[in-house]
Amino acid sequence: MWYCVTAGGQHCLRVLGVSQEVEPSLPWCHVWYSTLQPPTISRVNNAGTCGGGCVVEGEVLEYRGRCGGGNVVGGVVETHLDWQGKNSNRQMPYLLTCPLPPGDTRVPAAVSLVTWPCKPASNLLKVVGARERESSAYEGGTVPKDLHSKNIRWTAAVCGPALYYYSYDWSRRLVEWIEIHRAVGFGRVFVYNTGVHPNMEKVLQYYEKEGYVHVTHYSFPPPYTDEPSLHRLWTDVERHKLFAQENIFYTDCPLRHMHQYRYLAHLDADELSVLKQHHSYTDFIQRLRKNTPDVHPGFKLQWSMFYNDLEPQGKAASLPEYLWVLRHTRRPATDIHPTSGQYKTLYDMDTARGMFAHGVVWCTTGLCTHGNMRRVPTSIGYIGHFSKTCGEKCKTPHYTKEDLTLQRYRDQVSKAVKKTLEELQLL
């Protein structure tokens, strides 16, 4: 549950939920300001009180104009967060909004959802966020005096995947993945844990204690299982149900941390940002903002494959095997013609609201698509994908080329990875 303020000054909360109903009866909100007082009660997304939108320091963050950001169902507004469309055979994600009392500037401590206004609450959700962005959003960790300046230098963070590698030890790859993000200039890494190998658990705890990684523990809602072996099978045979559930944590991460960072990049554990013309992600963002003055929900960075079955060559071959990414420097010589599923997105949380694996479903103005985002030329940056195999086609002369962009971080990453693996006794 995330705190927000409407354009007209009315405060509100946003809550993520799931339902198998195609047209759910939306709940009521019990908003708790204190344990010593009864809650304030409001109706979720009441069509008469949805107002303008959410703002942070005068910038519009959520606008539904005439409540057009969702579907009107039984006199209320609901926002369905799934590119697949509605289907009662699966749990579907919804983004709900609880209006708060006009003129009340207090930040609630918690909220409960109930099916009827006077029904006793059986749940209690902590409220996350505030009216202002934190200092972590800005380069140097200092809030600028002029928050509307076009010269603000923004930092970015990574919204990683929900990790479920319980039977597979990916700990070394995970350490390298984290350290490359740090070297590129991301301020922090956020991941979700649904059950991982003990060695990966050690890695996550190590970086959490250090403060660079934040882990949210996630359980899939009934009737889905979190038992590791069955969960792995479920992800393979019921992909559409998995895709719907992924939208929960893909949306939760940017909304949960939008007060800490304006820009959040979604990257899986086999993906890394490759910046062709910039050494830091802050400089990269500045370039994107300069070239795209209009406000957009995000920037699309297309994939390029670094194939697992290509042997390391040149100086990369001398690197230790645990530096998997830095050892794999060959990719196709020609850029792919990407489909909508072959991009990853850098979200601008002044505009983006509901996400899926490869882009945005909902914007501050309502439904949005890949067309609302801006494509980043591969000459400026792209996403390196380090998990596919190439096979016979890579034996064709001139099919691949060497890309040494990430080697600029070689010394920093090598030293950091070795230090961490030694301390965790993973070498």
Instruction: Write down the pLDDT at residue 272.
Output: 97
C-alpha–C-alpha distance, residues 284 and 380, integer Å:
8
User: Of 50, 101, 41, whose CA–CA distance to 72 is shortest?
Assistant: 50
Helices vs. strands in the chain: H and E counts, helices first: 7, 25
Instruction: Write down the pLDDT at residue 74.
Output: 31
Residue 199 CB neighbours (<10 A): 17
347-365 as b/e, with b when 16 or more CB fall inside 10 Å? bbbbbbbbbbbbbbbbbbb
* CA 405, 411, 415, 421 torsion-angle sign: positive
Percent of the chain with pLDDT strictly greater than 90: 53
The predicted model gives 270-294 an average pLDDT of 92
For the entire predicted model, the pTM comes to 0.89
Residue 113 CB partners (closer than 8 Å, separation 6+) = 15, 17, 27, 28, 29, 30, 44, 96, 121, 123, 125
- Beta carbons of 47 and 75 less than 8 angstroms apart: yes
Q: Which domains does the chain have, with CATH numbers?
A: 2-126 (no CATH), 140-423 (3.90.550)
- The SS3 assignment for 112 reads strand
Residue 23 CB partners (closer than 8 Å, separation 6+) = 73, 74
The predicted model gives 89-95 an average pLDDT of 92
Confidence of residue 425 (pLDDT cuts 50, 70, 90): very high
Compare 154 and 335 and report the one with higher pLDDT. Answer: 154
How far, in Å, are 25, 93, 235, 303 from residue 87 at the CA level? 16, 11, 18, 30
Instruction: Write down the pLDDT at residue 164.
Output: 82
Q: Which of 44-58, 85-99, 122-136, 170-184 has the highest average model confidence (pLDDT)? A: 170-184
The total number of residues shown for the chain amounts to 427
- Beta carbons of 104 and 10 less than 8 angstroms apart: no
Tens-place pLDDT, residues 121-147: 999 999 988 778 999 999 999 999 998
C-alpha–C-alpha distance, residues 13 and 15, integer Å:
7
Residue with tokens 């908003």: 31
Decide if pLDDT at 50 tops 60: no
Compare 94 and 5 and report the one with higher pLDDT. Answer: 94
Compare 150 and 416 and report the one with higher pLDDT. Answer: 416
Cα 269 to chain centroid, rounded: 13
- Beta carbons of 61 and 132 less than 8 angstroms apart: no
Confidence of residue 4 (pLDDT cuts 50, 70, 90): low
Instruction: Write down the pLDDT at residue 216.
Output: 95
Instruction: Write down the pLDDT at residue 5.
Output: 54
DSSP assigned state of 376: P
Compare 337 and 40 and report the one with higher pLDDT. Answer: 40
User: Of 307, 312, 301, whose CA–CA distance to 386 is shortest?
Assistant: 307
Confidence of residue 368 (pLDDT cuts 50, 70, 90): confident
C-alpha–C-alpha distance, residues 386 and 356, integer Å:
21
Instruction: Write down the pLDDT at residue 45.
Output: 65
C-alpha–C-alpha distance, residues 218 and 195, integer Å:
9
- The SS3 assignment for 332 reads strand
- Beta carbons of 156 and 136 less than 8 angstroms apart: no
Tens-place pLDDT, residues 203-217: 999 999 999 999 999
Instruction: Write down the pLDDT at residue 144.
Output: 93
- Beta carbons of 157 and 190 less than 8 angstroms apart: yes
153, two tokens:
């230098």
- The SS3 assignment for 13 reads strand
Instruction: Write down the pLDDT at residue 63.
Output: 27
- Beta carbons of 306 and 386 less than 8 angstroms apart: yes
Decide if pLDDT at 361 tops 60: yes
Residue 157 forms beta bridges with which residues? 264
C-alpha–C-alpha distance, residues 254 and 158, integer Å:
9
